[in-house]
């Protein structure tokens, strides 16, 4: 079965137009669009033989490789819904998603992921021409009317309590992928570096679907490595969408080898998402790449894209850019105040949360998605994100926005990245706790860092305590998981007490 309005038709279209062109490159080699489409057809046939019907969920426990991409499109080919989850999640986390999604089958991309193999304890190994995977069949619940046009359900990172499954339609994904193609001016001659997980919206919509629309080759990387990224950027990659941690670690990797810029590269577009940009850090990255570092804003519920920048190199603008074509943005702020919650409306807004109509009704009203992020629009129409509403710190009656404090910390030459949170104290106020990832935590001078930021921040914005660490808890996308900071560094907090 194939519907021209479904995401799998994008690959079929490329296979008809450019059958021999390279579609996917992964650690096992390269495949053409014709091979890619044949693999999708074979996977779709296997799903159908396994009882998968229209509306059924196909859970894909995966890391980035050809098999992951194939099964996302194969689910579409048989009218089912792909539910990709990252194999680096724990067994209890995957079980909670499985119990909520109630899939017909579970696919484990065991050929490219040791973690997926470890989860596949009772699954049957399969190989139908595009790498080893394991599969198990389940007793799925019947399809529901609410999922009639849904292509993918993504369970959001860091969810606690009941899982939140974001339902994205075929139209959502194709619209969002098209915006990425426009923003990056992607063509069939491009090669896109795909280290952002396909199990998350940035990698799924802005990379996988964008490549399917444009015909660009997608070079998939199972795990982030600064050495492999550097090798890719000097061997044909033209577009690199990443997150701040990736850029910071790449620049550190190069500096350790005496390199202060990227040489011998075909790279023409580089972007950073998932966190606000700091002017000094942006200038440093642009000097390294020799290109403008573009920024953007989005979330799972908005199928990634809400806004994006199109700046020239050296432009001091650190906003998330203007709203993308067809996307509306407004700020829900108290009267007379410039900062408020960011709301967005358009074809990118999710259909809703799976099996959670009340939560959907709270989050999407009259077509407007409440993002939970605080922001403002400047005179040029650029969107500035100042933080999460839930992460706002109240200190001495003043509002403290963590990204501003993090930007000051990140200006220090020895700081790779930082994370700032608030913590209630005994006098009814909030302390500002700063966790900084640096090269040598044991010898790092946090007192000197405190003096450094004192010249950049008002007194009420300065960290109460600074902790030097070798790594921050992060999602596979590279997004720092702030809700895990206190548990991750409980011993350090107690020690410095």
**pLDDT value for 432:** 93
Contact of 384 with 378, CB cutoff 8 Å: yes
Q: Across all residues in the chain, what is the average pLDDT?
A: 92
> What's the rounded Cα separation, in Å, for the pair 34 and 43?
14
* DSSP state string for 126-150: E-SSS--EEEEE--PPPP-GGGTTE
> What's phi and psi for 248, nearest 5 deg?
-65, -45
pTM equals 0.85
- Binned at pLDDT 50, 70 and 90, residue 161 comes out as low
Instruction: Check for a shared fold between 8-171 and 392-495.
Output: no
pLDDT over 60 (residue 338): yes
Residue position matching structure tokens 């011998």: 264
> What's the rounded Cα separation, in Å, for the pair 283 and 288?
9
Q: How far is CA 74 from CA 42, 140, 210, in A?
A: 8, 18, 17
> What's the rounded Cα separation, in Å, for the pair 437 and 185?
35
Per 3-state DSSP, the chain is made up of helix, strand and coil in percentages (nearest 5) of: 35, 25, 40
The total number of residues shown for the chain amounts to 497
pLDDT over 50 (residue 1): no
Which of 391 and 132 is assigned the larger pLDDT? 132
pLDDT over 70 (residue 427): no
* Strands, E assignment, 174-255: 191-194, 217-220, 239-242
pLDDT in tens, 371-407: 999 999 999 999 999 877 778 787 766 778 788 899 8
What tokens appear for 119 in the block? 């989860």
Residue 225 CA from chain centroid, whole number: 17
- φ/ψ region of 472 (left if φ > 0, alpha if ψ in -120 to 50, else beta) reads beta
On whether the 392-495 domain is CATH 3.30.300.30, my answer is yes
> What's the rounded Cα separation, in Å, for the pair 373 and 371?
5
Residue 489 CA from chain centroid, whole number: 24
Q: What CA dihedral angle connects 433, 434, 437 and 439, to 10 degrees?
A: -110
Q: How far is CA 176 from CA 60, 210, 259, in A?
A: 22, 8, 36
- Binned at pLDDT 50, 70 and 90, residue 162 comes out as low
pLDDT in tens, 265-294: 999 999 988 666 778 889 999 999 999 999
pLDDT over 80 (residue 19): yes
- Binned at pLDDT 50, 70 and 90, residue 159 comes out as very low
pLDDT in tens, 80-96: 999 999 998 888 889 98
> What's phi and psi for 349, nearest 5 deg?
-75, 130
CATH class of 8-171: alpha beta
How many C-beta neighbours within 10 Å does residue 12 have? Answer: 20
Q: What CATH superfamily is the domain 224-389?
A: ANL, N-terminal domain (3.40.50.12780)
Q: Where are the domains of the chain?
A: 8-171, 224-389, 392-495
- Binned at pLDDT 50, 70 and 90, residue 158 comes out as very low
Positive or negative CA dihedral for 128, 130, 135, 140? negative
């Amino acid at each position: 079965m194939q519907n021209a309005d479904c995401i799998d038709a994008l690959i079929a279209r490329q296979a008809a137009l450019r059958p021999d062109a390279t579609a996917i490159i992964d650690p096992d080699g390269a495949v053409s669009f014709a091979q890619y489409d044949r693999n999708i057809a074979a996977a779709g046939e296997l799903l159908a033989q396994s009882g998968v019907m229209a509306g059924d969920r196909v859970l894909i426990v995966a890391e980035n490789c050809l098999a992951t991409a194939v099964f996302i499109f194969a689910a579409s080919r048989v009218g089912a819904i792909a539910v990709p989850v990252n194999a680096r999640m724990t067994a209890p986390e995957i079980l909670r998603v499985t119990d909520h999604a109630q899939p017909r089958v579970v696919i484990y991309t065991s050929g490219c992921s040791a973690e997926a193999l470890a989860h596949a304890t009772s699954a049957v190994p399969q190989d139908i021409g595009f790498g080893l995977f394991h599969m198990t069949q389940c007793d799925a619940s019947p399809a529901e009317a609410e999922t009639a046009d849904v292509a993918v359900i993504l369970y959001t990172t860091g969810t606690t309590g009941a899982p939140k499954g974001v339902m994205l339609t075929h139209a959502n994904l194709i619209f969002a992928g098209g915006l990425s193609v426009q923003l990056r001016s992607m063509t069939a001659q491009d090669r896109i570096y795909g280290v952002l997980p396909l199990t998350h919206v940035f990698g799924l919509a802005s990379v996988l679907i964008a490549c399917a629309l444009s015909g660009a080759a997608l070079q998939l990387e199972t795990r982030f490595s600064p050495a492999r990224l550097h090798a890719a950027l000097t061997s044909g990659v033209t577009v690199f969408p990443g997150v701040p941690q990736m850029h910071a670690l790449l620049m550190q990797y190069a500096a350790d080898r005496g390199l202060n810029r990227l040489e011998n590269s075909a790279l023409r577009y580089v972007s950073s998402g998932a966190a606000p940009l700091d002017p000094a850090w942006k200038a440093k990255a642009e000097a390294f790449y020799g290109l403008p570092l573009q920024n953007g804003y989005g979330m799972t519920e908005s199928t990634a894209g809400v806004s994006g920048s199109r700046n020239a190199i050296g432009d001091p603008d650190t906003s998330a850019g203007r709203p993308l074509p067809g996307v509306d943005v407004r700020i829900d702020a108290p009267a007379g105040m410039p900062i408020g919650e960011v709301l967005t409306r358009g074809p990118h807004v999710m259909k809703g949360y799976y099996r959670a109509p009340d939560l959907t009704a709270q989050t999407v009203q009259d077509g407007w998605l409440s993002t939970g992020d605080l922001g403002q629009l400047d005179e040029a129409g650029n969107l500035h994100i100042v933080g999460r509403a839930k992460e706002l710190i109240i200190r001495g009656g003043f509002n403290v926005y963590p990204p501003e404090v993090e930007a000051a910390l990140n200006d220090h030459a020895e700081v790779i990245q930082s994370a700032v949170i608030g913590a209630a104290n005994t006098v009814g106020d909030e302390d500002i706790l700063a966790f900084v990832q640096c090269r040598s935590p044991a010898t790092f001078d946090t007192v000197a860092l405190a003096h450094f930021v004192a010249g950049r921040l008002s007194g009420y914005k300065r960290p109460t305590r600074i902790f030097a660490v070798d790594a921050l808890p992060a999602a596979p996308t590279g997004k720092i998981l702030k809700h895990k900071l206190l548990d991750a560094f409980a011993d350090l907090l107690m020690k410095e007490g």
